[in-house]
Structure 1
């Protein structure tokens, strides 16, 4: 979740390269977290964030990263 937050922070600052690095690392971490509805939703949002980041749409990418944070946080709350 920390990596997804870093990605969102970079996105808000318009740092697309750093955004992509953090978002891709967050995705790899989430993929290792195991299957759970909120993890799966977070993975989907991270994939969208990366896609939009690569297209140069920092604002949309940031929103997807923020949604990923919300989903991943739910996973930890529902333990």
Structure 2
């Protein structure tokens, strides 16, 4: 996992399925858990879904809020990256 993966969660929309068009960060836990049971798709989308499932499962969705705020202001630098 890296910061770019976390940024993608709040900017990339689900490309297929029941929740097509919804941000990956906004997918419901039961849908993410279904993928965890049945298997994540290959490639980057599967990796991001797995990451989001881990965040959701461990109650860490709130960690994405600063990134959501940064998305609103188009500033994806992290506080420790700022001079």
The structure with the greater share of residues assigned to helix is 1
Q: Choose between structure 1 and 2 for higher RCO, CA contacts under 8 A separated by at least 6 residues.
A: 1
Please classify the TM superposition score into its range, dividing by the shorter chain length: 0.3 to 0.5
**Bigger Rg, which one:** 2
> Normalization by structure 1: what TM-score?
0.39
> Normalization by structure 2: what TM-score?
0.37
